[in-house]
Amino acid sequence: MKIFSGLSRKATYLMAAAALAVMAAPMSAKAEDRVSAVHAFPEFLVYTKTFLAMVADINERGKGIVQIDVRGGPEAIGMFEQPAAVRDGVVDMVHTPGSFYGANVPEIDAMVASRVTPMEARANGGAALMDKAHQERFNVRHLGWVDGGIKFHIYMNSEPKFRDDGILDLTGVKLRDNPIYHAFFEQLNATTASMPATEVYSALEKGVVDAAAWTEIGIPQLKWNEFLKYRVDPTFYNTDIGVIFNLDAWNALSPESQKLIQDVVIEWEGKSYADRQAEVAADAKTLADGGMSFVSHSAEAGETYRKMADDSAWARMYERIDGGGAGAETYMALRKAYALAE
């Protein structure tokens, strides 16, 4: 009986060990979440460098918890197709300007016309409102606003002309367009052509366009200054580059993964803001040293010019969300959070 009893105990131990192994296998496989990601712009642009550095930070701190696999940029999925790809779960995470999907989430225009920093928007509840709109309208989380605080100029290959009231006149100018600018450019009477940023160099070279709007930084990297010789001041709008994450994929992550990713993105809101501000003066010097002329509005006309841009963005959002009716509360809350300077 002792022999059989011993064998029984041994068999019990083996069965228990096997059961534990079976239970541990899925736990081990699930211990580290895997996230797929793409970015809108080519790798050489500073905005993509920010994203890749942020991903490297997450991966370093997320060993054993979560790892992000970057599949590439617009060569992997077209930049204008990326928002739909993350919404539909083709990829988990995308780094992209909100204006690329503004027709689906019109609240993004609050960031476009913002007079506050990303950090201020997070502190005053604006970031939470933006995330809520993204979840409800687009099946994604809006995790953060990175490289914020960078504004736009219009760059031209011929000397700018001005109306009698001192505002830029783009009559006859073939301007590269993008959804973020279109309403504003219409007011300036431009002839517009919409195209991805990756096609602009060729379009300038061939004369398809002779002007383009872009941020305060990045023109030298794109080499558009080989053709564009004038910069119109002052700046207008803000970069609205964010990190969005498929809502279903986000909910499937462990709480540890969610916290790590969100915490790091918030850290990079502040870090990237400071880093980009330091680069504005450097890029301006590069352009000036290369022969670009900076042409300014008068102080009064410049403020009117900026207000025209902001008002066009707010008006677009007002119409899209029914700001005078069902969307009035949202409109006013966003205006309060993102336009504090008014």
pLDDT digits (tens, 9 = 90+) for 215-272: 999 999 999 999 999 999 999 999 999 999 999 999 999 999 999 999 999 999 999 9
What is the predicted pLDDT for the residue at 7? Answer: 46
- Here the tokens at position 155 are 């760059």
- At 321 the three-state DSSP class reads coil
Q: Which fold has domain 152-239+278-338?
A: D-Maltodextrin-Binding Protein; domain 2 (3.40.190)
pLDDT digits (tens, 9 = 90+) for 101-147: 999 999 999 999 999 999 999 999 999 999 999 999 999 999 999 99
Apex CA 285: angle with CA 279 and CA 289, to 5°?
A: 150
Q: CATH topology of 28-98+117-145+243-274 equal to that of 152-239+278-338? A: yes
Q: Where are the domains of the chain?
A: 1-27, 28-98+117-145+243-274, 152-239+278-338
What is the reported pTM?
A: 0.82
Beta-bridge partners for 236: 152
Mean pLDDT of 4-9: 46
Is residue 161 very low, low, confident or very high in pLDDT (cuts 50, 70, 90)? very high
Tell me which CATH code domain 28-98+117-145+243-274 carries.
Answer: 3.40.190.170
How many Å separate Cα 184 from the centre of its chain? 20
To the nearest whole number, what is the mean pLDDT of the chain?
A: 91
What is the percent of the chain with per-residue pLDDT over 90, rounded to a whole number?
84
How far apart CA 182 and CA 194 sit, in angstroms, is: 9
What is the predicted pLDDT for the residue at 183? Answer: 85
Spatial strand order in the sheet of 152-156: 191-194, 174-177, 211-215, 152-156, 230-236, 293-296
Beta pairing, strands 230-236 & 152-156:
antiparallel
